[in-house]
Structure 1
């Protein structure tokens, strides 16, 4: 699925777009800053109608084509983890 480097890149890009959050959490301990960033990131994803993993992909993809490929790769991994045939998974999830 998503790796730590990809998630960190998404957080970095999210924070670059939200300097007010960076300022607000600056005085907190490192662990608390990380927690606040994760919560704010999840809230933003929800506000956009996305799951956090989807928002991560949006922030890290180089364009729409790569985003579509990345989404499919994640869905294929989930199907495999569930032991489902790809076609069955696609049908079940409306893909």
Structure 2
């Protein structure tokens, strides 16, 4: 799975944890409900000061060790794509190894 697939898989689990949001969007079309859920999910990730895909991992059935390994793998990809030293990347992005 990639980051976007993690997010899509997390949204149905996320909405179940938010009865207030469910009530607010119940009269919207299915597409609008999906959009509102996604935006609320993104807002929650921002409020927690984490990436949306990191919040999605919290809604997965993976163990904490698996989540940490996936999180580090994504950050390593980003560091490589930016051609940054791993230690420097971790320091700048508050990644704890």
**TM-score (ref. length: structure 1):** 0.76
Q: What is the RMSD computed on CA atoms of the aligned residues? A: 2.1
Q: Provide, for residues 36-81 of structure 1, a one-character-per-residue CA deviation record: whole Å limited to 9, x for no partner.
A: 1111112222333323222112222522211211110110121222
Give the corresponding residue for 1:81. 81
Shift of 1:15: 0.8
The answer on whether the counterparts of 1:79 and 1:86 sit within 8 Å (CA) in structure 2 is: yes
Q: Which runs of 5+ in 2 are unaligned?
A: none
Are residues 1:72 and 2:72 paired? yes
Between the aligned partners of 2:7 and 2:48, the Cα distance in structure 1 is: 18
- Aligned residue for 2:50, secondary structure, equals coil
Structure 1 stretches of 4+ with a deviation exceeding 4 A read none
Instruction: Give aligned pairs, total.
Output: 94
